[in-house]
């Protein structure tokens, strides 16, 4: 009830303090009994607020208001006593004037002299209050910053969910397209193989028909010869002898050699011999192997990667992609997906008309959220082409003089020997070589701010059959 009433409703209009023994006038205004008496002692028996005349009888006490005011005063006294109790030591009853820096609690001077706190550093209570407030304010700011950071991460996470869905759909589309291309090659090869069988069937069928015609003609010829011989055998002996020479010549003119039927069947072995392997070998003509594949999750938003992740170019209007930790945020950079930690590796990049690029390798741990120079001390071993000049990005950069501007650059890494070399692949001329002892895995590195693409040249796949 006390908390539901504002304090001004419990205040006397005369003394402006909490009512003491309040009385109630007929006009419904209440006053302290002593305050009302003082006002009436001036000779005017009227309400001090509305000036209405009051009766000569003594005004009645406002018991309800009196109870509320007394409860409020009791509550205040209890609060004051509790506050005073809070300011005193529970053990010694002395005022808390010191703050123990080790135990992080207020103590009195007796506590400071006790064994419990004798060796502890202490500070005055006011000084400790300021220090503790400062520390709490610092913690509060830290938590608020953390909350703001988490809210940003939360929003980024929601955006990332949408991006993951789009990524999955786009990846599935590209997979389907590549398989459709492979299917098309297989369908074409299947059609060619079936057509070859059909063509041989027609050829062998026609050949067999010709043979049958030949057989029919020979049968007819032999049948006629048989009839002649049979007729001669029935004739008189003298007639047989007279006609013998003609009959014999006629029989000799008929070819009685054996019929050659070889090679008339379809050459099944030719069509089915290692069919899958031969088709696979033909498919290799339609398949390239790219030694380095770009990682789109690391690409700066202004870099556009090709569907096969083998080329990149710059676009001033940044694309829509999440602000994930792997991504380069400040510079138009991208790295490949496979970390190199041993052995020898090489890849050729077609630079073409691009006039602003860096190529090479970078440590896996290089910062993605800060713009730093591509130097060895920062984890970069790169070749730079800008404003028509080649530079090896040493510290400071080394200007290189080349007899011609190569349209392709071969990057060669020998991790175990600690070398990163750059060549002109047209004649394998060395452009520059870094020597360094590598301590962590490396990633193929690319940078450009040109709309002309950099393209990683695919390699042809060679098949070697090992017979045991």
Kindly report the number of other CB atoms within 10 A of residue 100's CB atom.
18
What local confidence, expressed as pLDDT, does residue 340 receive? 96
Sign of CA dihedral 243, 244, 249, 254: positive
Lowest mean pLDDT across 83-87, 232-236, 260-264, 460-464: 83-87
State yes or no: pLDDT of 319 exceeds 70: yes
State yes or no: pLDDT of 212 exceeds 50: yes
State yes or no: pLDDT of 3 exceeds 60: no
Q: What is the pTM of this model?
A: 0.63
Mean pLDDT for the stretch of residues 3-27: 83
Distance CA 76, CA 130 (A): 28
pLDDT digit string, tens, across residues 138-178? 999 999 999 998 988 888 888 889 999 999 999 999 999 99
State yes or no: pLDDT of 5 exceeds 70: no
What local confidence, expressed as pLDDT, does residue 258 receive? 65
State yes or no: pLDDT of 468 exceeds 70: no
CATH of domain 7-86: 3.30.40.10
Distance CA 105, CA 278 (A): 86
Q: Which residues contact 87 (CB under 8 A, 6 or more apart)?
A: 95, 96
Q: Which residue has the tokens 């028909």?
A: 209
Lowest mean pLDDT across 62-66, 139-143, 286-290, 428-432: 286-290
> 192-220 burial by CB neighbour count: b if 16+ within 10 A, else e?
eeeeeeeebeeeeeeeeeeeeeeeeeeee
Residues 189 and 279 sit within 8 Å (Cβ to Cβ): yes
State yes or no: pLDDT of 10 exceeds 50: yes
What local confidence, expressed as pLDDT, does residue 300 receive? 96
Mean pLDDT for the stretch of residues 377-383: 96
Phi and psi torsions of 453, nearest 5°:
-75, 155
Nearest of 353, 388, 368 to residue 445 by alpha carbon: 368
Residues 322 and 433 sit within 8 Å (Cβ to Cβ): no
> 31-67 burial by CB neighbour count: b if 16+ within 10 A, else e?
bbbebbeeeeeeeeeebbeeeeebeeeebeebeebbe
State yes or no: pLDDT of 257 exceeds 80: no
3-state secondary structure 31-78: EEHHHHHHHHCCCCCECCCCCCECCCCCCCECHHHHHHHHHHHHHHHH
Nearest of 411, 415, 410, 445 to residue 427 by alpha carbon: 410
What local confidence, expressed as pLDDT, does residue 1 receive? 42
What local confidence, expressed as pLDDT, does residue 363 receive? 97
Mean pLDDT for the stretch of residues 309-317: 94
What local confidence, expressed as pLDDT, does residue 297 receive? 95
Nearest of 310, 433, 426, 330 to residue 381 by alpha carbon: 433
State yes or no: pLDDT of 461 exceeds 90: no
Instruction: Quickly state the pLDDT bin for 2 (edges 50, 70, 90).
Output: very low
| Higher-pLDDT residue of 403, 408 | 408
Q: Which residue has the tokens 């409703």?
A: 9
What local confidence, expressed as pLDDT, does residue 84 receive? 59
CATH of 290-460 given 3.40.50.10440, 1.20.1440.80, 2.60.120.920, 1.10.260.40: 2.60.120.920
| Higher-pLDDT residue of 84, 343 | 343
Reported as type and span, the H/E element at residue 6 is none
Nearest of 89, 161, 168, 172 to residue 125 by alpha carbon: 89
State yes or no: pLDDT of 36 exceeds 50: yes
């Amino acid at each position: 009830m006390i908390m539901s009433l504002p304090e001004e409703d419990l205040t006397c209009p005369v003394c402006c303090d909490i009512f003491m023994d309040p009385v109630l006038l007929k006009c419904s205004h209440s006053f302290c009994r002593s305050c009302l008496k003082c006002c009436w002692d001036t000779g005017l028996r009227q309400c001090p607020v509305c000036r209405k005349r009051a009766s000569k009888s003594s005004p009645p006490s406002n018991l309800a208001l009196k109870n509320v005011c007394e409860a409020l005063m009791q509550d205040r006294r209890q609060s004051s006593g509790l506050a005073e109790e809070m300011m005193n030591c529970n053990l010694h009853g002395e005022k808390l004037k010191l703050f123990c820096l080790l135990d992080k609690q207020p103590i009195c001077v007796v506590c400071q002299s006790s064994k419990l706190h004798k060796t502890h550093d202490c500070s005055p209570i006011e000084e400790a209050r300021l220090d503790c407030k400062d520390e709490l304010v610092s913690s509060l700011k830290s938590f608020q910053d953390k909350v703001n950071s988490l809210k940003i991460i939360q929003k980024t996470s929601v955006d990332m969910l949408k991006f993951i869905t789009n990524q999955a759909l786009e990846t599935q589309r590209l997979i389907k397209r590549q398989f459709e291309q492979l299917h098309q090659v297989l369908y074409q090869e299947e059609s060619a193989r079936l057509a070859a069988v059909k063509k041989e069937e027609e050829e062998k069928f026609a050949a067999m028909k010709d043979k049958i015609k030949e057989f029919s003609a020979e049968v007819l010829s032999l049948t006629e010869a048989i009839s002649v011989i049979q007729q001669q055998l029935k004739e008189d002996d003298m007639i047989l002898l007279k006609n013998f020479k003609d009959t014999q010549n006629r029989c000799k003119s008929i070819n009685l050699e054996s019929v050659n039927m070889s090679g008339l069947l379809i050459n099944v072995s030719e069509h089915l011999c290692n069919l899958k392997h031969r088709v696979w070998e033909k498919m290799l003509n339609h398949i390239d192997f790219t030694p380095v594949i770009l990682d789109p999750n690391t690409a700066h938003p202004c870099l556009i990667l090709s569907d096969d992740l083998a080329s990149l170019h710059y676009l001033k209007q940044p694309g829509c992609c999440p602000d994930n930790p792997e991504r380069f945020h400040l510079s138009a950079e991208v790295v490949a997906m496979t970390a190199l930690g041993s052995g020898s590796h090489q890849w050729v990049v077609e630079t073409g008309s691009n006039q602003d690029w860096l190529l090479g390798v970078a440590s896996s741990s290089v910062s993605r959220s800060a713009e730093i120079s591509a130097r060895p001390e920062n984890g970069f071993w790169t070749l730079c082409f800008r404003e028509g000049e080649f530079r090896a990005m040493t510290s400071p950069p080394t200007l290189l003089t080349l007899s011609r501007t190569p349209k392709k650059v071969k990057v060669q890494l020998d991790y175990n020997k600690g070398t990163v070399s750059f060549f002109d692949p047209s004649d394998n001329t060395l452009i520059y070589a870094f020597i360094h002892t590598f301590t962590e895995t490396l990633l193929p590195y690319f940078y450009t701010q040109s709309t002309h693409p950099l393209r990683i040249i695919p390699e042809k796949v060679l098949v070697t059959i090992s017979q045991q």
